[in-house]
Chains A and B, each alone.
Chain A
Amino acid sequence: MTQGIYLDNNATTMVSPAVVEAMLPFFTEQFGNPSSMHQFGNRVGLALKQARAQVQTLLGAEHDSEIVFTSCGTESDSTAILSALRAQPERKEIITTVVEHPAVLALCEQLEKEGYKIHRLKVDSRGRLDIHEYMDLLSDRVAIVSAMWANNESGTLFPVEEMADLARSAGVMFHTDAVQAVGKVPINLKDTCIDMLSLSGHKLHAPKGVGVLYLRRNTRFRPLLRGGHQERGRRAGTENTASIVALGKACEEAMQHMEYEKTAVRQMRDRLERGILAAVPHCFVTGDPNNRLPNTCNIAFEYIEGEAILLLLNKQGIAASSGSACTSGSLEPSHVMRAMGIPFTAAHGTVRFSFSRYNTMDEVDQVIRAVPPIVAQLRKLSPYWGENGPVTDPERAFVPAYA
């Protein structure tokens, strides 16, 4: 980043320079259709093959044919869930969680209207699942379990490998939305019981509009898009070759930076978190601090509103977010924060800082300096904040007439 400090990498990431370089020829001299017989097509076909192998390596998949390129994370999620329902029409239940991304939740809501039974696993105050609630729901009526690997807002990790083991032993398919996890935590799918996994290119320094559905060999499957023979007939449509090549390169780079993510990126995140918690009263970290993505920190600033914080941060060139990219357009407190039982006075004031390998410690220090005055300024305006601290019993002290 040349201008400003970008701490919103869970929303999307910068396309890495090496990735741009790798994809550019596929707009110009390498424009061929990979299905064509001639050399124009052939070279592109070989490039796709390489990209598939690069994704396979990052995911630790056993076979490269388990990688199916799609148009985005959302498409991968929909494909996985709808496939499970179509392949097993006698199974009418789905297990998911209350904190999934809308890509899963909104689909499940629609399926509920169509008559499917949706079980949404609850989370505790730190965003953790109750594994017993989950076990009790597993049965041969369940078509698929879909649980995210890492939460986009809090970064909290779900024990998806254990959950997949349990699902397998109960004879139930398991899908994970790993859009936020891929590239940030090591993944080795061949040693798991995970049947399907979604990832999205733009979260790991590839462009927007390309994703992958990992589909374990022998998993019963029904395509979402039928048509040509692309992706072995499992996802028809002429390949987005430039972006697929880019995603392959991005996966290769993610593999190389995995250690950096776990150490340097984490150190930046931790320093920011400690710095803010030390300087700002009445704020706390949401989610499960001991079990989360190394790049994410979500802080609730009590008695003030997140969007106002974002606007003031933005004025100083600092980009963060409040709620997920999809929910930040609305003023509703995020469903993830509500599910964790964060009180309204804090849920509205959650700010997510999400890092990438392109951030620096210097940026961290600038943000640590910028945040306390912003919070103080907004609290001065807040009806929930007195002279030197929160008013007693804020929920009762200020009850707007329209509430």
Chain B
Amino acid sequence: MWDYSDKVKEHFFSPRNAGAVTGANAVGEVGSLSCGDALRLTLRVDPETQIIKDAGFQTFGCGSAIASSSALTEIIKGMTLDQALTVSNQDIADFLDGLPPEKMHCSVMGREALQAAVANYRGEVWKDDHAEGALVCKCFAVDAVMIEETIRANALSTVEDVTNYTKAGGGCSACHEGVEEILTRVLKEQGRVFDPTGAAPVLAKGKKLSNLQRIRRIEGAIEAIRPNLQRDRGDVELVEVDGKNVYVNMTGACVGCQMASTTLDGIQQRIVEDLGEFVRVLPASAMQHRV
């Protein structure tokens, strides 16, 4: 069962402003029977001050649709039309101490009814700007159509992009598979291939080093090992850092020493520990072999 807040329950069991307002001069109707949700919002607006004097709702829908409608009317009464237009669906949800993720679309319907009513009052035609598709992201109530259109409009290519533009996927991440499917399909139409590795993985504890910091750390690790080698009259110097490969030059007694590979292992271990990431320490002579 839904985890409704007490406020939602209260507005469902004792809704405020239910029914049509008498003498209404603004009406907004959104939703449809086939969606299982429909809301008619009626307002009485003072033509002088543009203040909403009274608001009433008639809702066909679930518990949270009714509670959202009730909340909406409470929020906007006494506001000017322009103020009312700034009310977002999140404001409605917040007013109710939150809605379950799957029910966020109920608050969206409230906001749309409001926009429709204001348009009606001003003699404009309100256009429902989104056809509703299957709900993909439950955490943020984002549907497939919305995701698809946003991908097209902004040439998005990763799940991260979609999250940044639509919020979808920014919560529990259970919908990432669905978002990936839409990305794969849309990109394919454009002759592109969805690359799931597009976004670089982040290291734990936010320990992402800049290139310079990284090289400093590697140098530091090598400096710390040199005294040991020098005691055996060998030495080591850093030659090049190329991604995950660290090339070093072994000098002095280390050259041709049978222990050289053990020493490289030791250096590698030390650098990995200091750096907290995976690198491979290789002799500089290996550089020419690489493609």
Contact = CB atoms under 8 A, between A and B. Distances in A.
Given A38-B1, A49-B3, A168-B201, A65 B172 contact: yes
Interface string B180-207: 1000000000000000110001011100
Contacts of A369: none
A168 B1 contact: no
A234 interface: yes
B282 to A, nearest CB: 11
Contact of B174 (A132, A164, A165, A234): A234
Interface stretch (B51-59, B141-149, B215-223, B271-279): B271-279
B80 to A, nearest CB: 39
B196 A45 contact: no
B94 interface: no
A171 B265 contact: no
Nearest to A65: B172
A221 B184 CA distance: 16
Given A35-B1, A45-B1, A132-B265, A165 B276 contact: yes
A46 B265 CA distance: 53
A167 to B, nearest CB: 8
Interface string A179-209: 0000000000001110000000000000000
Nearest to A132: B265
A52 to B, nearest CB: 12
B174 A65 contact: yes
B138 interface: yes
A318 B229 CA distance: 55
Contact of B196 (A136, A192, A220): A220
Interface in A215-232: 217-222, 232
Contacts of B201: 168, 171
A138 B278 contact: yes
Contacts of A12: none
Contacts of B278: 135, 138, 165-167, 169-170
Interface in B157-197: 171-174, 176-177, 180, 196-197
A191 B180 CA distance: 27
B280 interface: yes
Contacts of A136: 280
B197 A233 contact: no
Contacts of B203: 165, 168-169, 193
A53 to B, nearest CB: 13
Given A221-B177, A233-B174, A34 B1 contact: yes
Contact of A193 (B1, B204, B265, B268): B204
Contacts, number: 79
Given A65-B172, A65-B174, A87-B196, A42 B1 contact: yes
B289 interface: no
Contacts of B127: none
Nearest to B195: A90
A217 B173 contact: yes
Interface in A150-179: 164-171
A164 B277 CA distance: 10
Contacts of A217: 172-173
A282 interface: no
A65 B172 CA distance: 6
Interface string A39-50: 101100110010
A192 B172 contact: no
A165 B1 contact: no
A64 B5 CA distance: 19
Interface in B220-248: 244
A184 B161 CA distance: 41
Nearest to A166: B278
A39 B1 CA distance: 8
Nearest to B265: A132
Interface string A117-142: 00000000000000110011010100
A131 B270 CA distance: 13
Contacts of B244: 169-170
A205 to B, nearest CB: 29
A218 B174 contact: no
B223 to A, nearest CB: 22
B205 A191 contact: yes
Contacts of B272: 135, 166
Contact of B204 (A41, A140, A191): A191
Nearest to B199: A218
A191 B278 CA distance: 18
Contact of A192 (B3, B204, B280): B204
A136 B272 CA distance: 13
A88 interface: yes
A218 B176 contact: yes
A37 interface: yes
A36 B3 contact: no
Interface in A230-263: 232-234
Contacts of A34: 1
Interface string B99-114: 0000000000000000
Contacts of A219: 173
A380 interface: no
A143 to B, nearest CB: 12
A99 to B, nearest CB: 22
B268 A132 contact: yes
A87 B181 CA distance: 11
Contacts of B176: 218, 220-221
Given A165-B276, A169-B277, A41 B1 contact: yes
Contact of B172 (A35, A42, A232): A232
A45 B3 contact: yes
11 contacts: A42-B1, A63-B172, A65-B171, A65-B174, A87-B196, A140-B197, A168-B204, A169-B277, A170-B278, A220-B180, A221-B173
Interface of B: 1-3, 138, 171-174, 176-177, 180, 196-197, 201, 203-205, 244, 265, 268-269, 272, 276-278, 280
Interface of A: 34-39, 41-42, 45-46, 49, 63, 65-66, 87-88, 131-132, 135-136, 138, 140, 164-171, 191-193, 217-222, 232-234
Q: Which 4 A-B pairs have the closest CB atoms?
A: A169-B277, A65-B172, A42-B1, A232-B174
